[in-house]
Chain A
Amino acid sequence: GAVVSQHPSWVICKSGTSVKIECRSLDFQATTMFWYRQFPKQSLMLMATSNEGSKATYEQGVEKDKFLINHASLTLSTLTVTSAHPEDSSFYICSAPGDSLTQETQYFGPGTRLLVL
């Protein structure tokens, strides 16, 4: 089946620094990937759609200059949290649509826990 990985699985950083999170589709290509954020005891909130070869599209209320997304290749999307603050502490999850055999299915990464001190 389609596998999506994320790196790192968890990260702790100081306030004001930037953190990069990678999302990879391991055995399939993904021209589109999605980034979600999940706070404790809450559902996943879609942040943005990452598009290979073009700019990401952001959901309303998500600051594009703070959450930089780069879809560098057909298997890699990165989310950079710039000038992170404690309120950015959350669980970040990416997803990608499956391949032609499972094209209507989204596959999710294991998530990245970010803690900003």
Chain B
Amino acid sequence: LAKTTQPISMDSYEGQEVNITCSHNNIATNDYITWYQQFPSQGPRFIIQGYKTKVTNEVASLFIPADRKSSTLSLPRVSLSDTAVYYCLVGARTDSWGKFQFGAGTQVVVTP
């Protein structure tokens, strides 16, 4: 069971880059790393997923070192609407998702 550890909170100003690092020392070979964003009273929204190296999409980048024991979500030029809780999860379909368990998440607060 891959447990994840993230900072509880991070503060940032508009326009800055926010980097959230997640530790997952017990990640299994088949596990993917997925990041979600959650606003109050809404379900988590998929942001980005990766297996190794770097992945980039239109909203974020995900950096994964070779040992895969951690990953860093990078949010470029955040705005006020990026204030949310961000969750890092590891899991894989191949092991019946290995119990897709949420950690505490990181509360990101963006101020003007």
Contacts and interface: CB of A to CB of B under 8 A. Distances in A.
B46 A111 contact: no
Interface in A1-44: 1, 4, 6, 32, 34, 36, 43-44
A30 to B, nearest CB: 11
- Which one of A6, A49, A104, A108 has the greatest number of beta carbons of chain B within 10 Å? A104
B103 A43 contact: yes
Contacts of A107: 46
Interface residues of A, number: 26
A51 B100 CA distance: 15
Nearest to B44: A108
Nearest to B100: A106
Interface in B80-101: 87, 89, 91-93, 96-97, 99-101
Contacts, number: 62
Given A46-B99, A104-B93, A110 B104 contact: no
Interface residues of B, number: 24
Contacts of B105: 43
A113 interface: yes
B102 interface: yes
Interface in B30-63: 32, 34, 36, 41-46, 49
Given A91-B41, A97-B93, A105 B102 contact: no
Contacts of A32: 96-97
A93 interface: yes
Interface in A101-117: 103-111, 113
6 contacts: A32-B97, A34-B97, A103-B93, A107-B46, A110-B42, A110-B43
Interface of B: 32, 34, 36, 41-46, 49, 87, 89, 91-93, 96-97, 99-105
Smallest CB-CB A-B distances: 5 pairs: A108-B43, A104-B32, A44-B102, A43-B102, A108-B44
